[in-house]
Amino acid sequence: MYDYLIVGAGLYGATFAYEAKKRGKKCLIIDRREHLGGNIYCENIEGINVHKYGAHIFHTDNKEIWDYVNQFTKFNRYTNSPIANYYGEIYNLPFNMNTFNKLWGVFTPEEAKARIEEQRRAAGIEKPQNLEEQAISLVGTDIYEKLIKGYTEKQWGRSARELPAFIIKRLPVRFTYDNNYFNDKYQGIPEGGYNKIINKMLEGIDVELNVDYFKNRSELESKARKIIFTGMIDEFYGYKFGKLEYRSLEFKNELMEKENYQGVAVMNYTDRETPYTRIIEHKHFEFGKQDKTVITKEYPAEWSPGKEPYYPVNNDKNNLIYRKYKELAEKEDKIIFGGRLADYKYYDMHQVIGSALACVKKEFK
């Protein structure tokens, strides 16, 4: 008999398992994929750690969480500075003085602020109600049209007017010449890839891969006193309140016989026509010197059964449905829900760890 059956071997499940084991609890962690790590899993191709389920860049402002991940492996000094490519015009991200200078020729923060204010006023936006209005009020219509609208509508498959404002607030807007994509104090990529972290966390813990919880539900549930569930909460409840929407992605990898393809780890294609949103060149996350390079084109798609759900679509309609599932979840005494899918939240890795550690604290108080 296990103390915990953990459904999903991603960052949430692995953090919980590690902490539970430390406290003498017996855990079984299962995953329907053939490998550990969920979406932070890296596949080694030609000596390059390929982020198989999309680029993952660790960043946090919280020293405890930074120290926590650093106990499992060393992190490098990678700083994310993606490039936006708009029909071949190159701009720095996030939106900062380099972007404003390239776009408008302005070179002081006052001039940049005045441009943005002028464009915000012309658009007549006082209180932004959706992503489009939020974006225009932060950076003006020129940047919205060239660097946000196309990317966002490809990424989410919806008009920017139907999307929540918080999504665009993930990106800093800065009136300094600083291309760091994150404001957080700590940032980096685990040296040797993310698998090192997960493998360390799950050392000595029973693992079963290629196991689908939903296909073996009663048998699996009988093995443990409690369940940690990190999958889709609507699937858990048989979609009884309706289906939640997710965005999915398709990744197309190319191995190239050249040392350096695009000179940066992340290049965003912000026009509407290019079918992919970004190209990732993985070696740059670890300053790789290999002769070859691996790039990944990221094609967004609506989620449907059989695809991987990556992003919750947190608009009002879905949040309302989610709240009903959450009410049920809160009444469970043998099941704990956590992670991006079960909480239906656009978490970053540091938030997943933070929320798993909060759960651990409550569970073992």
Name the active-site residue from 33, 115, 120, 247.
Answer: 247
- For the chain, the distance separating the N- and C-terminal CA atoms, rounded to the nearest angstrom, is 22
Neighbours of 260 (CB within 10 A): 13
- Taking alpha carbons only, the member of 300, 299, 298, 305 closest to residue 244 is 305
Nearer to ligand UDP, 171 or 233 (CB): 171
Burial 309-329 (b: 16+ CB within 10 A, else e): bbbbbbbeebeebbeebeeeb
E strand or H helix at 322: helix 316-331
Name the active-site residue from 194, 298, 311, 343.
Answer: 298
Q: Three-state SS for 295?
A: strand
Question: Among 97, 167, 220, 295, which residue interacts with ligand UDP (rule: CB under 6 A)?
Answer: 167
Q: Which of residues 174-233 bind ligand UDP (CB under 6 A)?
A: none
**Least Å from the CB of residue 210 to ligand UDP:** 28
Give the separation between CA 276 and CA 295, rounded to whole angstroms: 13
Name the active-site residue from 43, 162, 348, 363.
Answer: 348
- Taking alpha carbons only, the member of 266, 347, 260 closest to residue 80 is 266
Instruction: Rule CB under 6 A: say whether 321 interacts with ligand UDP.
Output: no
- Taking alpha carbons only, the member of 300, 303, 299 closest to residue 312 is 303
**Least Å from the CB of residue 357 to ligand UDP:** 22
State yes or no: is 271 an active-site residue: no
**Least Å from the CB of residue 149 to ligand UDP:** 7
Q: Give the strand order in the sheet containing 278-281.
A: 89-92, 83-86, 266-269, 278-281, 293-302, 246-256, 311-312
Neighbours of 63 (CB within 10 A): 10
Show the binding pattern over residues 141-160: x = contacts ligand UDP (CB under 6 A), - = does not.
------xx--xx--x-----
Asked whether the beta carbons of 247 and 313 are under 8 A apart, the reply is yes
State yes or no: is 121 an active-site residue: no
Question: Among 15, 49, 195, 268, which residue interacts with ligand UDP (rule: CB under 6 A)?
Answer: 268
Q: Which of residues 42-101 bind ligand UDP (CB under 6 A)?
A: 84, 93
Instruction: Rule CB under 6 A: say whether 341 interacts with ligand UDP.
Output: no
| Stretch touching ligand UDP by CB under 6 A, among 120-128, 163-171, 185-193, 288-296 | 163-171
State yes or no: is 161 an active-site residue: no
| Stretch touching ligand UDP by CB under 6 A, among 62-70, 164-172, 193-201, 336-344 | 164-172
- Taking alpha carbons only, the member of 288, 209, 261, 266 closest to residue 45 is 288
Q: Which two tokens stand for residue 149?
A: 């609208």
State yes or no: is 18 an active-site residue: no
Name the active-site residue from 23, 121, 161, 170.
Answer: 170
Q: How many helices (H) and strands (E) does the chain have?
A: 11, 16
Question: Among 23, 170, 225, 323, which residue interacts with ligand UDP (rule: CB under 6 A)?
Answer: 170
Instruction: Rule CB under 6 A: say whether 270 interacts with ligand UDP.
Output: yes
| Distance (Å) of CA 36 to CA 20, 24, 292 | 18, 22, 26
**Least Å from the CB of residue 337 to ligand UDP:** 21
**Least Å from the CB of residue 247 to ligand UDP:** 9
Name the active-site residue from 86, 174, 310, 343.
Answer: 174
Count residues binding ligand UDP (CB under 6 A): 13
Q: Which residue has the tokens 């953090």?
A: 15
Give the up-direction half-sphere exposure of residue 211: CA atoms within 13 A in the CB hemisphere. Answer: 20
State yes or no: is 298 an active-site residue: yes
State yes or no: is 272 an active-site residue: no
State yes or no: is 225 an active-site residue: no
Binding site for ligand UDP (CB under 6 A): 84, 93, 147-148, 151-152, 155, 167-168, 170-171, 268, 270
User: Catalytic residue numbers?
Assistant: 170, 174, 247, 278, 298, 346, 348
